[in-house]
Structure 1
Amino acid sequence: MSSAPILITGGAQRLGRHCAERLIDDGHPVIISYRRERPELEALREKGIVTLAADFSSEAGILDFIARLKATTPALRAIVHNASDWAPDSRGDDAGASFERLFRVHMQAPYLINLHAQALLEAGDEPLADIVHMTDYVAVKGSKKHAAYAATKAGLDNLTLSFAAMYAPRIQVNAIAPAMIMLNEGDDEAYAEKARAKSAMQMIPGPGVIYESLRYLLDNRFVTGVTLPVDGGRHLR
């Protein structure tokens, strides 16, 4: 097992947190980025997870995070780009700023981190390293209420192809495209039932399926440039 840590952006909650906790429990060193301080972070730190604050809403914030990441570790085993902003479209004067924020979080941050952290990935003590982009089911379907979100996630999906070609054979680059994986606090049973009906598997599986998908990509040494759908067969509906 590599002594170099795995970086998970947006690792303080939900899918990112689950994957960070599972990885550290499996013996992998982990670094996460987080947008704001929250009580859950202390539990992650007690587990030995390194936490770095990050503001991906500006280029300066992204570059500042990269500089602090390089000061924290000389190598990385993998990067999991999980940071995300599920923001609805704006019809007001702030529509452009809203799109720009989603572009920076979903595309510019992964793009710049991939470029500047290439040397960290190549400095690891395993023959191969990995980059995993967390995209979304709506990247191929579009969204009536989250057009900017869907478009920037589609851009991230395309970056998977470019970086896979660019970094082969030393670094594998893949993506995971989830659909409805877990509920939010406050979601009622009526909402849950509607969500379950959207997939052929008719279930809300929980974050474990994302960790299983991540482990598949990290453990398989002959997969690059692919997007792994984890959507319960929504395309069959």
Structure 2
Amino acid sequence: MFRKTALVTGGARRVGAAIVRSFAARGYNVVLHHGNSPEEANALAAELEAEYQVRVVVVQEDLVDSSAPARVVQAAISAFDALDVVVSSASVMEWRDFESVTPDDWARTEAINLRAPFFLMQAAARAMNEGGVIIQIADHLANETGFPRLIPHQVTKSALHQLVRTVADRLAPRIRVNAVSPGLVLAPSDLGDAAAAAFMRDVPLARSGSPDDVIQAIHYLVDATYVTGTVLSVDGGRHLRR
């Protein structure tokens, strides 16, 4: 039986793990990349292989290493000889006061949130056949102000929006490139009830989302063959009020 292959970075935990599960449920073989979550990654891979009778290959790479994205793509090609979908979900969001951000903080955030997605797309473009799909997981915070403790994160995610548009134009028509920009779909453990409630006051749909909302957007973009260069907001309409 022919199966397509999906590569998901940051696929061991939280939304990334839900994305991996969604592709396995649709019959894809999956390359599950993680940075430092071997127990979660291996357990998820074993579970999905048993449940869906697909292959899930686990790849551990630190995306701070500039050569890691190419190795992740090569692992996918070595395992499956093909690559149909790439979802770049790995990200870092570290809360730092403006005065306390260090060059190392900035370099790590830029490496994972921006440099790695670019070189992942570059390597994937070399490996993919016509009809390949690349999806970046962006962030609604890219277009907001009022989060001064997340400056490196916001700046790199904002740049990622532009990167998607630029690379989509470069790779068309052979490969489509889009992004999903989630709002509050899984609250950070340290957000707190008061902060979450304040955040929700600017969400027109008046509720938080879920990983399923992100997954639906991803699979829409996988199937939508006339869509490229789009950043799809999945934030309950919050972008309308920011």
> What's the TM-score once normalised by structure 1's chain length?
0.89
Shift of 1:103: 1.1
Shift of 1:102: 1.0
Structure 1 consecutive aligned stretches of length 4 or more whose deviation exceeds 4 Å: 90-94
The one-letter code sitting in structure 2 at the alignment partner of 1:139 is: A
Shift of 1:30: 1.3
- Aligned counterpart, 1:24: 24
The answer to whether the aligner puts 1:103 opposite 2:107 as a matched pair is no
Over residues 47-70 of structure 1, what are the superposed CA-to-partner deviations in whole Å (9 max), with x where a residue is unaligned? Answer: 132211010112144444344344
Identity %: 25
Aligned length: 233
- The answer for unaligned runs of 5 or more in structure 2 is 50-55
Greater Cα offset, 1-10 or 71-80: 1-10
Residues 140, 183 of structure 2: 8 Å contact kept:
yes
- Aligned counterpart, 2:63: 56
The answer to whether the aligner puts 1:216 opposite 2:220 as a matched pair is yes
- The answer for unaligned runs of 5 or more in structure 1 is none
CA distance 1:65–1:218, shift in 2 (3 Å)? closer
The one-letter code sitting in structure 2 at the alignment partner of 1:132 is: I
Match of 2:181 among 174, 177, 180: 177
> RMSD in angstroms over aligned alpha carbons?
2.2
Superposed, 1:58-207 pairs within 5 Å as: 58-89=65-96, 95-122=102-129, 128-142=131-145, 143-185=147-189, 188-207=192-211
Q: Distance in 2 between matches of 1:203 and 1:103?
A: 31
The one-letter code sitting in structure 1 at the alignment partner of 2:144 is: K
Instruction: Identify the structure with the greater helix proportion.
Output: 2
The one-letter code sitting in structure 1 at the alignment partner of 2:13 is: Q
Shift of 1:45: 1.5
Residues 55, 65 of structure 1: 8 Å contact kept:
no
Residues 5, 85 of structure 2: 8 Å contact kept:
yes
Residues 8, 31 of structure 2: 8 Å contact kept:
yes
2:180 aligned counterpart, secondary structure: strand
